[in-house]
Amino acid sequence: MRSSAFLLAVMTLLSLGAAKDEFQAADFGKQQLNSIGSEQARGAVKSRVAQGTLTFHWLNVAGVTEGQMQFASEGDKFVSVLKLPSVDYHGEQFVCDGKKTGVKQILPGRYSALGRFVFEHPEVLTEGLWGGTLSTAWALGHLDERHARLEDRGLKKVDGRDLHRVDYFPKKNSDLQIELYFEPETSRHVMTVYAYHAMARGGGGPTASAGQEERYYRLEERFADFKTVDGLTLPGRWTIQYSGDPSQTAVGSGTTPISQFDVSDPKISHNMTLDPRNFEVK
């Protein structure tokens, strides 16, 4: 009897601890959403369109290409277009209808390095992570429906700046490490990091073992220059950086590519009527 009572007490403490952790995650989510705007202001938005110019370049190669960005979202659906006037690389197009995803190929049967990464990890799209708070599908606004889990990692130094790191775990198992970063003083979301490493056949080296080597893949989104639109504080700058696919090389370079898109001061409009075909996954 005494051992049974002790076991019951331990189980009760564990359940209380889990409830406390869950409450803290939910509380943090609400705090972060309030950094965007009041519940009333957020609830008034049914759709959002962000559009503007962008620049693209390989960080290890000279030269910059200008293009256009459009991001349209409605509820948990969105389409993201990063368009470049280039024959070699015309940019990216991602779409999510809330469940299924689509990634446009650069040639029939071929994805870009970034496109392949997103295609192989659709949770970047289905979890509402892509585009951060620019999207109405933003992950922290849909935690209850998606049943994702948050883990607090405390303050971390990023480029000499203290940021609050919270790791994101989708309900379905993911081989991605997903890190969300927030300003401690405002709770604004300023960065998402998706990291993945895998063993691959290699040519030997200090990290190789039995003909294999570890390859690291990293996708990073940064958000800055926040501005107020219709009572909501949203990013005025979106920077996307991808690295880690050694099977491709940057144009004019023999090194592993590091590609970067920069979107500055996009025009943001709310509650526009959007054609449902925008969100069709083909």
Q: Are strands 77-83 and 227-229 parallel, antiparallel or unpaired?
A: unpaired
The stretch 87-114 carries a mean pLDDT of: 94
- What is the rounded average pLDDT for all residues in the chain? 86
Residue 216 has pLDDT above 70, yes or no: yes
Q: Could you give the 3-state DSSP secondary structure of residue 189? A: strand
Out of 2.50.20, 1.20.1300, 2.60.40, 3.40.720, select the CATH number for domain 2-279: 2.50.20
Lowest mean pLDDT among 57-66, 69-78, 107-116: 57-66
Q: Give the least confident one: 53-62, 112-121, 159-168, 271-280.
A: 53-62
**What's residue 201's pLDDT?**
58
At 92 the pLDDT is 97
The pLDDT of residue 7 is 42
- What tokens does 238 get? 């979106």
Q: What is the pTM of this model?
A: 0.85
Helix, strand, coil shares of the chain, percent, nearest 5, are 25, 40, 35
Give the count of beta carbons closer than 10 Å to the beta carbon of residue 268.
19
pLDDT for 246: 53
pLDDT of 17-67, one tens digit each? 444 445 388 899 999 999 999 999 999 999 999 999 999 999 877 789 999
> Under a CB-based contact definition with an 8 Å cutoff, are residues 94 and 111 in contact?
no
Region label for 244, one of left (φ > 0), alpha (ψ between -120 and 50) or beta (otherwise) = left
* Residue labelled with tokens 């470049």: 84
> Would you give the DSSP letter of residue 88?
S
Cα-Cα-Cα-Cα dihedral of 122, 123, 124, 128, to 10°?
120
The residue among 115, 272, 105, 130 whose CA lies nearest residue 194 is 130
DSSP class of residue 225? S
* Residue whose C-alpha is closest to residue 59's, from 225, 246, 243, 219: 243
Domain ranges of the chain: 2-279
Which pLDDT score, from 0 to 100, does residue 11 have?
40
**Cα radius of gyration rounded to whole Å, the chain:** 21
pLDDT at 198: 81
Given a cut of 80, is residue 170 above it in pLDDT? Answer: yes
- Which residues is 195 bridged to in the sheet? 177, 218
Rounded to the nearest 5 degrees, what angle is found at the Cα of 69, between the Cα atoms of 68 and 71? 155
